[in-house]
Structure 1
Amino acid sequence: MKRLVRVLRRIFVVLVVIWLVITGASLTYNFATRERAEPPPGLRFVQTADLQTRYDSWGTTGSPIVLVHGAAESVESWSALVPVLARTHRVYAYDITGYGYSERKAPYTIEHLAAQLLGFLDAMKLTKPVLVGHSLGAGVVAEAALEQPEKVGGIMFLDGDGLPIPGGGPPRAVVNTLIVDPYRTSALRLVLGSDTLIRNIYNDACASKCAPLTHDEVQVWTRPFRQQGAEKALWQMVGRDIPAVQPDRLALLKTSPVAKSVLFGALDNQGGSAEQTATRVGAPPPTILPNQGHLTQISAPTEVAAAIEELVARS
């Protein structure tokens, strides 16, 4: 019995030493990486409801199109699609609160995100634009169309079904217990500082159909997460479900006069079911692009633009 007690005591001491070493290393790393990145110069902002929203616009003629990005994305995520659309349309894109360079303000709910979008339409004085929502953005444009359909000409579900993630995420209490500082901050900064990890995440979302990211392009994707307040906003979102529309509410779109369209990459493993989405919201049969992943607006901009043009014609 005494021998067992001694063994357990030694194990406890070893574990405490390991914990102290890891914690010390984490605190040191966090201190060394405490500097925040500056926003890029020349950003444009507009007041939308209760937020200062970063946005950009392109094109001078044609009907308006508003692009709403997904989780961990920003205005820059539309860089391949915008030149195609802007030939014949006025195109707008903005950063969802919690991501990009817009003001970060909780709660990060689907209602708050839709209020930002509707506020953007008012601020830019847009008349019945087509709203294109990618991934998380699909839920945002759906909620906006449900709340104020008179302001919307049409909506596209682009690689997103607008619904909560099946099964939800891990319970918030568990996440807050296991993912704590200083370790979560160290983990996040290690990921953001690794070109290899970012490229792997990007390639998976693209189903390896996008051009490889250069170091500078990796910086474009990660820079928003190195802004002042970005980590706090991320931790406020961690442990909560991705903002989405509940199935019964989403189904109300079936009787809405707003024109609907659904487009998915055939290899998309993140956005849900294109066929079920079209049926649920009363859209025509979906467009499914072969050999494309979750970022079709990057890897197949011409095809995506053609589908948006078809939606514009119906709206």
Structure 2
Amino acid sequence: MSAATETGAAPAWFAAALAQAPERREVEVDGTPVRYRAWGEAGRPGLVLVHGGAAHSGWWDHVAPQLHSHRVVALDLSGHGDSGRRAAYDMGTWAREVVAVADAERLSRPVVLGHSMGGWVSLVVGVEHPDAVAGVAVIDSPLVRRPPEEEQLRDRRRPHRTYPTVEEAVGRFRTVPAQDVLLPYVREHVAADSLRRDGDGWTWKFDPQLWGSPPLLTELLPRLTVPAALFRCEKGLVDPRMAAEMAALVPGGLPVVDLPDAGHHPMLDRPLALVTGIRTLLAFWPHPA
């Protein structure tokens, strides 16, 4: 856990969001099952949410139901959550998983939004599958570094520890990088959904061998031909100067949405600000027919 958490019971908006239980589905991609969650009415414009490294689709459980204008899907990338594992992982494969999930849901050129490492995946979708998406957006994916969760965890390629109880495991939940504030009710929900049974105990779902060698954003941003946007977290990894450098690399520019007082993981500390930003972006971006 990071240095401090905000306290208090879960507010009504959080309970209402979780009450909108997602549909849970599966599609096979390159021989591996990919699980995903879906919210909203079929036929609405599509939005695909891509989690960060070592995370899972449940990180969006309290965000996705509030994006009422769209049919929203959030997948577990292979090696994460409840999806299958592979012998090796790469951004191109994960990008194909995003497109396959959108196709399975019959989403016509959805917007793809990814957090941290998921931002890399989203940009690869935009570069390698431009005809499949209406636009791509990233949340706090830094320009000249690998995603922080990969950078810090790739050197710890060892089996996960097993905990005797869910409560003990949840108490050990950490974000990478750490941040000063995590809303406790969000943290507990996300942490509990990050666990799987391991014999008589509980361990983390993600594959400790999942780290690959992604391209840097300096390589991806100049190749974009679809609309793109950046959500910049005030207390995250992308400072205003870096955001300006990123915008200069994108043909046609890069709108930057600032999330005040947000850490690297805004869905865990400032989720309503994140929802507001996403709603605004979706309202302004054109919807494909």
Q: Which moved more, 1:139-148 or 1:270-279?
A: 270-279
* TM alignment of 1:1-315, pairs within 5 A: 43-60=24-41, 62-85=44-67, 87-161=68-142, 164-165=145-146, 184-185=158-159, 188-189=161-162, 193-198=168-173, 201-202=174-175, 205-211=178-184, 218-223=191-196, 234-237=207-210, 240-241=211-212, 243-254=213-224, 256=225, 258-269=226-237, 273-282=242-251, 283-312=253-282, 313-315=284-286
Letter in 1 for 2:114: G
Could you tell me how far apart the structure 2 residues matched to 1:268 and 1:127 are? 32
Distance 1:89 1:54, change over 3 A: same
Could you tell me how far apart the structure 2 residues matched to 1:105 and 1:269 are? 30
Could you tell me how far apart the structure 2 residues matched to 1:216 and 1:129 are? 27
Q: Which moved more, 1:205-214 or 1:94-103?
A: 205-214
Is the contact between residue 194 and residue 205 of structure 2 (CA under 8 Å) also seen in structure 1?
no
TM score, norm. by length of structure 1: 0.67
Could you tell me how far apart the structure 2 residues matched to 1:53 and 1:63 are? 22
SS in 2 for 1:188: coil
Is the contact between residue 267 and residue 293 of structure 1 (CA under 8 Å) also seen in structure 2?
yes
Letter in 2 for 1:288: D
Could you tell me how far apart the structure 2 residues matched to 1:139 and 1:116 are? 14
Q: Which moved more, 1:137-146 or 1:274-283?
A: 274-283
Is the contact between residue 95 and residue 125 of structure 2 (CA under 8 Å) also seen in structure 1?
yes
1:235 offset after TM fit, Å?
4.1
Is the contact between residue 183 and residue 269 of structure 2 (CA under 8 Å) also seen in structure 1?
yes
SS in 2 for 1:234: coil
Could you tell me how far apart the structure 2 residues matched to 1:121 and 1:166 are? 24
Q: Which runs of 5+ in 2 are unaligned?
A: 1-22
Is the contact between residue 158 and residue 262 of structure 1 (CA under 8 Å) also seen in structure 2?
yes
TM score, norm. by length of structure 2: 0.73
Q: Which has the higher strand share?
A: 2
Is the contact between residue 195 and residue 205 of structure 2 (CA under 8 Å) also seen in structure 1?
no
Deviations 1:50-80 (A, max 9, x none): 3211011111153111101111111110012
Is the contact between residue 113 and residue 140 of structure 1 (CA under 8 Å) also seen in structure 2?
yes
Distance 1:280 1:162, change over 3 A: same
Query: What percentage of aligned pairs have identical amino acids?
Result: 25
Is the contact between residue 225 and residue 231 of structure 1 (CA under 8 Å) also seen in structure 2?
no
Could you tell me how far apart the structure 1 residues matched to 2:197 and 2:137 are? 26
Could you tell me how far apart the structure 2 residues matched to 1:234 and 1:65 are? 26
Is the contact between residue 105 and residue 233 of structure 1 (CA under 8 Å) also seen in structure 2?
no
Letter in 2 for 1:69: H
1:136 offset after TM fit, Å?
0.8
Letter in 1 for 2:249: R
Could you tell me how far apart the structure 2 residues matched to 1:154 and 1:78 are? 19
Could you tell me how far apart the structure 2 residues matched to 1:284 and 1:278 are? 4
Could you tell me how far apart the structure 2 residues matched to 1:231 and 1:203 are? 14
Is the contact between residue 84 and residue 301 of structure 1 (CA under 8 Å) also seen in structure 2?
no
Is the contact between residue 54 and residue 206 of structure 2 (CA under 8 Å) also seen in structure 1?
no
Could you tell me how far apart the structure 2 residues matched to 1:214 and 1:289 are? 19
Q: Which runs of 5+ in 1 are unaligned?
A: 1-41
Could you tell me how far apart the structure 2 residues matched to 1:111 and 1:100 are? 19
Deviations 1:133-160 (A, max 9, x none): 0111101110011111011101111122
Q: How many residues align?
A: 253
1:212 offset after TM fit, Å?
5.2
1:214 offset after TM fit, Å?
6.9
Distance 1:281 1:150, change over 3 A: same
